[in-house]
């Protein structure tokens, strides 16, 4: 097993690309040719709250990653909400209405229990407990008739343990696309879950480890990122190439996900998912980060692009603010350069 230990997702991504492009083995898959590393890979994030990717070459959609994560924490499985931010996600639904393997629904509803609240209660009661597992794979519905299902969970389970007074989280994944999955949406989803759980338990976030059994990338998405892979310090043994990281340089900082008891935060989240920016929330995360972002996205989608861009400073999380500004700017100035912006 290969272990990549890193500060955050932004800093590790060029190294991941470099490894796969140089050491990956070409294989065929259901969705086209891939490069696969012939061993599992574990990525260990020392600062998991630094969850935003800034590389313009990757062109990650910050609105989609951010709001899909809140949708998960609210325990939903509907297609309608995440499709507002990335309409192509609809193709992973079997019926166009719900997702079979939606992670948040599995965390909080699928097994007829709220696994998150039970783990929180258990670890608040006993910080030494090592039995806290949140399950996503359900053999009773995921093993039978797999060919008829478009959305089988890739992430299987999550474990939580308090180590040195901080909450460590380990995610087990059976098959991870490094561009769209592991270092794309997954790191945002699970780091937000991690921060939510740690805040609710009352301890700091520790390390977040992602164990990927099949660590791969599709050739059609990897090859356009070849130049970005050259930003990796792995390319030169003397570390002459230093990865640019806005977090390390102090250009951006994180904003606390939770400033109220988790019960109140979840109530705010539930209201936000129904009414969005129409009321004043009790937690500043919704007032100062989530609500401005949803308002800006609504303006953007309605065609008020310059107006949306002008309001980006209302987002008080400077990392998400920078990512949203850059994402919108690329589309406002885009030429016919072959990049798929929408």
Got the DSSP string for 238-303? T--S----TTTTTS-----S-SS-HHHHHHHHHHHHHHTTSS--SSHHIIIIIHHHHHHHHHHHTT
Q: Is 49 helix (H, G, I), strand (E, B) or coil?
A: coil
- Strands 34-36 and 166-177 turn out to be unpaired
154 in catalytic set: yes
Distance CA 342, CA 339 (A): 9
Strands (E) across 33-100 are located at 34-36, 41-45
8 A C-beta contact, residue 49 and residue 59: no
Length of the chain: 342
Rounded to 10 degrees, the C-alpha dihedral 312/318/321/323 comes to 160
Catalytically annotated residue among 154, 225, 257, 328:
154
8 A C-beta contact, residue 79 and residue 89: yes
- Print the SS3 string covering 120-146: HHHHHHCCCCCCEEEECCCHHHHCCCH
Residue with tokens 């590389």: 55
How far apart, in Å, do the first and last CA atoms of the chain sit? 36
Burial class of 96 by CB neighbour count within 10 A (0 to 12, 13 to 18, 19+): exposed
Catalytic residues: 154
């Amino acid at each position: 097993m290969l272990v990549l230990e890193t500060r955050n997702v932004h800093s590790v991504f060029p190294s991941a690309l470099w490894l796969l492009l140089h050491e990956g083995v070409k294989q065929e898959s259901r969705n086209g040719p891939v490069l696969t590393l012939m061993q599992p890979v574990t990525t260990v994030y020392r600062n998991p709250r630094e969850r935003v990717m800034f590389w313009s070459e990757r062109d990650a959609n910050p609105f989609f990653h951010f709001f899909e994560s809140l949708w998960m924490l609210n325990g939903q499985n509907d297609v309608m909400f995440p499709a507002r931010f990335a309409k192509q996600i609809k193709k992973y639904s079997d019926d166009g209405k719900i997702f079979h393997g939606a992670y948040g629904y599995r965390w909080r509803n699928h097994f007829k229990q709220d696994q998150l609240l039970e783990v929180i209660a258990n670890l608040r009661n006993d910080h030494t407990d090592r039995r806290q597992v949140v399950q996503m794979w359900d053999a009773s519905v995921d093993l039978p008739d797999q060919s008829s299902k478009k959305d089988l969970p890739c992430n299987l389970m999550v474990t939580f343990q308090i180590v040195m007074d901080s909450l460590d989280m380990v995610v087990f994944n059976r098959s991870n696309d490094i561009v769209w999955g592991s270092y794309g949406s997954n790191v945002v989803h699970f780091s937000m879950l991690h921060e939510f759980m740690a805040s609710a338990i009352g301890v700091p976030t520790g390390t977040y480890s992602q164990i990927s059994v099949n660590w791969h990338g599709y050739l059609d998405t990897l090859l356009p990122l070849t130049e970005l892979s050259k930003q990796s310090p792995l390319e030169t043994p003397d570390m002459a190439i230093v990865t640019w990281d806005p977090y390390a340089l102090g250009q951006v900082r994180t904003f606390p996900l939770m400033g109220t008891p988790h019960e109140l935060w979840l109530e705010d989240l539930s209201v936000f998912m129904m009414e969005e920016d129409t009321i004043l929330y009790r937690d500043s995360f919704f007032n100062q980060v989530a609500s401005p972002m949803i308002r800006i996205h609504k303006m953007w989608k309605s065609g008020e692009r310059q107006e949306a861009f002008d309001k980006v400073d209302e987002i008080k999380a400077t990392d998400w603010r920078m990512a949203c500004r850059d994402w919108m700017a690329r589309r406002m100035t885009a030429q016919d350069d072959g990049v798929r912006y929408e």
